[in-house]
Amino acid sequence: MNTIEELYNQYFKDIYLYLMSLSHNEDTARELTQETFFRAMRSVESFRGDCDIRVWLCQIAKNAFLSQCRKDNRFTGDEVPDTIPDTSVSIEDNIIDKERSMMIHQILHDMKEPHKEVFTLRVFGELSFEQIGNLFGKTESWARVTFHRAKLMIISRMEES
C-alpha cells in the first residue's frame, strides 16, 4: 500500500478534477479534495484492494461532496429556489417516476463493478467518457462500451419487472 503522501501526490489532480466536475467551484473542489485525502488517511485500513485505488478515492470524494451538499442545504433551506417545480406534472406521474428511479437505484445497487461505477460516474457524476476511462486507467472507448453495457443491463432488468 502506498503512503497517503504518495497517494496524494499521484491522485490529487484526478480527485480535484472529479470534484470540480461535481461542484463547478474551485474553492469547494479544493476543500473537498483535502477532505477526501483526510478521510482516506483515516480509513486506509478498510481499503480491500478489490478495485482501483483511484476508484476508491473517487467514491470517498463523491461521499464528501454529497455530505457537503446536505450540509449546505441544511443552512440554505429558507432561500427561494432558482426554479419553480412544474405543476403540470400529475401526482401519478411523479409517483411512477419515483418508483422507476427507486428501481434503477436498486438495480445499480445489485450491479457488479465496473458497470455500476461507470454508470454512476457518467449519470450522477456527469463525467465524460474520457475522464471515466482515465479514472480506471482504461480508454475512452472502454468507458463508452462499459456504460452502454450497464445501460442495457438496467433496461433488461426493468423490462423483467
Domains of the chain with bracketed CATH: 1-76 (1.10.1740.10), 94-161 (1.10.10.10)
pLDDT exceeding 90 applies to what percent of the chain?
7
Q: What's the average model confidence in pLDDT over 31-59?
A: 81
Given a cut of 60, is residue 38 above it in pLDDT? yes
pLDDT surpasses 60 at 87: no
What local confidence, expressed as pLDDT, does residue 78 receive? Answer: 44
> Quick check: pTM over 0.75?
no
Least confident window among 54-68, 99-113, 132-146: 99-113
What's the Cα-to-Cα distance from 95 to each of 65, 90, 101, rounded to whole Å?
Answer: 28, 9, 10
Q: Could you tell me the CA-to-CA distances from 73 to 68, 69, 113 in Å, in that order? A: 9, 6, 31
pLDDT-derived band of residue 22, with 50, 70 and 90 as boundaries?
confident
Nearest-angstrom CA–CA distance, 68 and 25: 13
